[in-house]
Structure 1
């Protein structure tokens, strides 16, 4: 079954510099997991057993709060991977992972994957190259975000999401409070900028749906 989904999981950042033979070696280890909405994949503090690539659906990463609740750290969509750092560090999962909707995952199990890296120096070097490239890209994104004001940050996010959304209609899969935090702004600031874009006729907001009406890249 892993071969069936190879075209999806192999596009994760960690695998992008691997050749076909190396992808096949990793693919021999990959396990496919499916989760129902609300189903927990792992809990914060559990030993890391591997890392994952989202193939379909969405995964919430949640941090336990002192009051017994949870705070969402991130929302992962198809093509994104998670838990790599815990795998390489031999550590515990730092957050809880839970499916927001029906979700399909590719799991790369820790023990056989590390054994593969130890046995194949070229594969290991290729993956280090992928990690370095991904780190460079994330650093660039952070620098770009820091250079933008909050309004520009929101416009850039809306423009990027709309390019992937059908009919340029974005579905907010998390609360506006969580989305604001992911963009590095207060919820009130997020709502104010949305209202300004609505007043300018560039977007329409209906509940959790944002429809793009104008060119946000201008």
Structure 2
């Protein structure tokens, strides 16, 4: 689904996890800065609502892709978009998952799905973007990590490990591609009041 507008001087940005939370904020702010957008998330209805809101707010072109980055088909589909989308200049890997609970009780299948999103999908999309951006000596890769990358939190061992991976993978990638005009940024937020915590999030401090 798309709306034709004038060509963006900023280029096109892909945002994963774009239907809510941090991803929705990135999508809004990138549109306000003049980027056309490709929004990726699992839920088509939420994507359509987000795209309509951003088009009305910014007048930018917004395409949507319903894809689950916890499965191979979803990852491959977005990889192809990273390779082929016209005028791509930025990707924000915001999609993330959590599988929290004591190691003796947490569902191994949930942990595997989390690692697929937090590690495998992020890595493959970053590498696809790095190959494209180094060839044109321009582009930005933003990877959303977490402050828990620097912690060993009981009940969140696999999640902490996945975010530690994001931190050090992103740093290494920046060291490799920085001399080719490509910027890699890793963002490490603390707790964010979002759907990540489910329907009953814990108390959050006032900002």
Q: Fold-level match, TM-score > 0.5?
A: no
| TM-score between the two structures when normalised by the length of structure 1 | 0.25
Rg: which structure is higher?
1
**Greater helix share, structure number:** 2
